[in-house]
């Protein structure tokens, strides 16, 4: 009988997810296996939608042949609160076994991997492909979408800098990454930005950034770029935004820091027209770069090869530039190592 496997995308969409799905379909066709596309992440597995075709679909190679270079995810994605509960995880496992699926490819970030792990515990062999712009799956040097997101941010900073330079205005640029500063660090390095603020540096201080910006301005740099990872706001040394800004703007007690307030504060502390830019979803909704597309190609093929040979519970990643796989649980256990050297280089001089 023809073997049947399934694939889903979960968590935040990331550039390269479609390329990976297409490659899974191509490899499945080569291996003479049937492929089920699960829609809306884990929601499709738990039968969230009344119409079956909204939960899953048979994927033929023809259907997905042309999706590889499209941004977003053809299969759709979701965050599924229900899937945290054993009852729904069991429902998903029963569903997959019921339709004869012998293995599932999960393309997503660390949350999606935790979900996959739950399915593994319930007897469904899973292979994870890291699909997240955040690059927060520490066992792998990169994840699908990270390179694209950095390229989008680099282009954005270059454009922002043209205006910053023209007007002698420093810029605060907020990038994504959840609790990981990798997008910010790579954006800052690729644009020779003068300051980077990341969630890995707990207790960072507004005054320190202001002092650095003032010294840059004093040395003639009137268009410095301060790249801030979104997760950094949560770990800064407490700063009373209301107390500081109330003489200047309409603010309310307890307002949290964000890029716009940070720029307003730096403007007053440093006497420069600091402007904020938040890059947002353009980081996720771009066609994959060559690097992400190549990884998608390799990962999609490797995932099918593993499942074809009856090997589940694996996470695919990149180590020393090569695509590899390792035990899913061990992959989730790898702890982050902060690149202090890069951080110091960006924030020096």
Tell me the site size for ligand F6P, rule CB under 6 A.
11
By Cβ distance, which residue is nearest to ligand F6P?
12
Candidates 15, 72, 109, 130; binder of ligand F6P (CB under 6 A) is: 109
Report residue 340: phi and psi, to 5°: -60, -35
Report the alpha-carbon angle 102-105-111, nearest 5.
Answer: 125
3-state helix, strand, coil in the chain (%, to 5): 45, 15, 40
Candidates 284, 286, 308, 325; binder of ligand F6P (CB under 6 A) is: 284
User: CB of 336: closest distance to ligand ADP in angstroms?
Assistant: 14
User: CB of 159: closest distance to ligand ADP in angstroms?
Assistant: 28
> Is residue 194 within 8 Å of 216, Cβ to Cβ?
yes
- Detail the DSSP E strand segments found in the chain: 4-9, 34-38, 56-58, 104-108, 126-130, 171-175, 195-197, 225-229, 275-278, 314-319, 322-327
User: CB of 77: closest distance to ligand ADP in angstroms?
Assistant: 8
Q: How far apart are CA 159 and CA 163, in angstroms?
A: 7
> Is residue 75 within 8 Å of 36, Cβ to Cβ?
no
Please indicate whether residue 344 is annotated as part of the active site: no
Give the tokens for residue 162. 């043209």
Beta carbon nearer to ligand ADP, 42 or 56: 42
Catalytic residue among 62, 94, 110, 134: 134
* 118 near ligand ADP, judged by CB under 6 A: yes
* 44 near ligand F6P, judged by CB under 6 A: no
* 133 near ligand F6P, judged by CB under 6 A: yes
Given the rule CB under 6 A, which of 127-135, 235-243, 251-259, 335-343 is the region that contacts ligand F6P? Answer: 127-135
Residue from 32, 72, 18 nearest 304 by CA: 32
Report the alpha-carbon angle 60-61-64, nearest 5.
Answer: 95
CA–CA distance from 184 to each of 5, 202, 275 (Å)? Answer: 37, 15, 17
* 76 near ligand F6P, judged by CB under 6 A: no
Give the tokens for residue 338. 């902060």
Beta carbon nearer to ligand ADP, 266 or 299: 299
Given the rule CB under 6 A, which of 91-99, 131-139, 321-329, 340-348 is the region that contacts ligand F6P? Answer: 131-139
* 156 near ligand F6P, judged by CB under 6 A: no
Ranges within 57-116 binding ligand ADP (CB under 6 A) = 79-80, 83-84, 108-112, 114-115
Beta carbon nearer to ligand F6P, 194 or 230: 230
Where do contacts with ligand ADP occur on this chain (CB under 6 A)?
10-12, 42, 79-80, 83-84, 108-112, 114-115, 118, 132
Residues that bind ligand F6P (CB under 6 A): 11-12, 109, 132-134, 176-178, 230, 284
């Amino acid at each position: 009988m023809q073997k049947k496997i399934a694939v889903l995308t979960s968590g935040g969409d990331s550039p390269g997810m479609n390329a990976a799905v297409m490659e899974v379909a191509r490899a499945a066709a080569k291996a003479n296996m049937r492929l089920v596309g699960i829609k809306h992440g884990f929601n499709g597995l738990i039968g969230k939608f009344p119409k079956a075709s909204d939960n899953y679909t048979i994927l033929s190679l023809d259907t997905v042949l042309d999706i590889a270079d499209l941004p977003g995810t053809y299969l759709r994605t979701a965050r599924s609160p229900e899937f945290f509960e054993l009852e729904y995880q069991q429902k998903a496992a029963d569903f997959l076994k019921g339709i004869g699926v012998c293995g599932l490819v999960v393309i997503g970030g660390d949350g999606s991997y935790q979900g996959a792990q739950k399915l593994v515990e319930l007897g469904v062999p899973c292979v994870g492909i890291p699909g997240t712009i955040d690059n927060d799956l520490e066992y792998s040097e990169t994840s699908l979408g990270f390179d694209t997101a950095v390229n989008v941010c680099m282009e954005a900073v270059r454009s922002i800098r043209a205006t910053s330079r023209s007007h002698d205005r420093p810029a605060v640029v907020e990038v994504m990454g959840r609790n990981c500063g990798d997008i910010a660090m790579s954006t800052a390095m690729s644009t020779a930005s003068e300051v980077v603020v990341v969630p890995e540096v707990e207790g960072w201080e507004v005054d320190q950034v202001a002092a650095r910006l003032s010294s840059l301005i004093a040395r003639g740099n009137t268009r410095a770029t301060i790249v801030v990872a979104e997760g950094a706001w949560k770990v800064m040394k407490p700063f009373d935004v209301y107390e500081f800004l109330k003489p200047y703007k309409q603010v309310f007690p307890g307002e949290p820091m964000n890029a716009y307030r940070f720029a307003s504060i730096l403007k007053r502390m440093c006497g420069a027209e600091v402007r904020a830019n938040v890059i947002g979803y353009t980081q996720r909704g771009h066609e994959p770069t060559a690097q992400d597309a190549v990884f998608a190609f390799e990962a999609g093929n490797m995932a099918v090869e593993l499942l074809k040979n009856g090997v589940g519970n694996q996470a695919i990643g990149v180590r020393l530039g090569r695509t590899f796989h390792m035990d899913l649980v061990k992959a989730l256990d790898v702890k982050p190592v902060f690149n202090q050297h890069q951080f110091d280089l960006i924030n020096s001089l």
